[in-house]
Amino acid sequence: MAFTGAGASKESGLPTFREIDGEWSKHDPMTFATLEGFLAHPVEVWNMYLMRQRQIAEARPNPGHVTIARMEQYYPDFLLVTQNVDDLHERAGSRRLVKLHGDCWGMRCLECESAYDTRDFDFPYEFAADTLPSCPRCHKLCRPNIVWFGEYVPQESMMAAVDAASNCDLMLVVGTSGEVSGGYGFTERAVANGATVVEVNPASGHLTQHADFWIAEPAGMALPRIWGEVESRRG
């Protein structure tokens, strides 16, 4: 199992959220990452997500993303669990993955809960009050299909992640501090199952205490090197 966070995409040029220069230093999370904030400031919130979509569209998967996709191709029992809402893992080739916090390209109706891909619509470069995304079915306001603070991760996604953490023999923790919900207890479940936990992160975090090995490097540097050694031993 691989468990990734915002740090996995930092090398692709996407800012993280909690670092000094991260998104939450520029945008108040209580406004831009809560339902209450969205309802009070829908135009501002949607325009921030439009900006984020443009950043993601311009970014490219880095060697860390590519290496994780190669691991999936080699191991028959593999699951990537990511907190990231970008699509860089998918563009690198990952297919067996769970996105805990939703997808930046998605939107969901506040009324009927219908979900859509924003790329299927001709939206303006910036939204105004009269051009906000609305549901094609019931014409009510749509929100970004992101799990915000105070909301629950979808049950199906969480159960798949918990099952993988509880049964894996190796867990890679990549680019996440584990500060969000304590990493959901994934590393503790892996440890309880006797798994080896390897953290790849330039800085220590909440999950480092559970790691058997901590590699203090960016994923784009460390993972290709490690995987190269695995492939050389495979012959």
Catalytic residues: 101
Can you give the three-state secondary structure of 43-111, one letter per residue?
HHHHHHHHHHHHHHHHCCCCHHHHHHHHHHHHCCCCCEEECCCCCHHHHHCCCCEEECCEEEEEEEECC
Residue with tokens 């918990």: 162
Paired sense of beta strands 80-82 and 97-99, if any = parallel
Q: Provide CB contacts within 8 A for 121, sequence distance 6+.
A: 133
DSSP secondary structure letter of residue 127: -
Residue 199's SS3 state is strand
Neighbours of 4 (CB within 10 A): 26
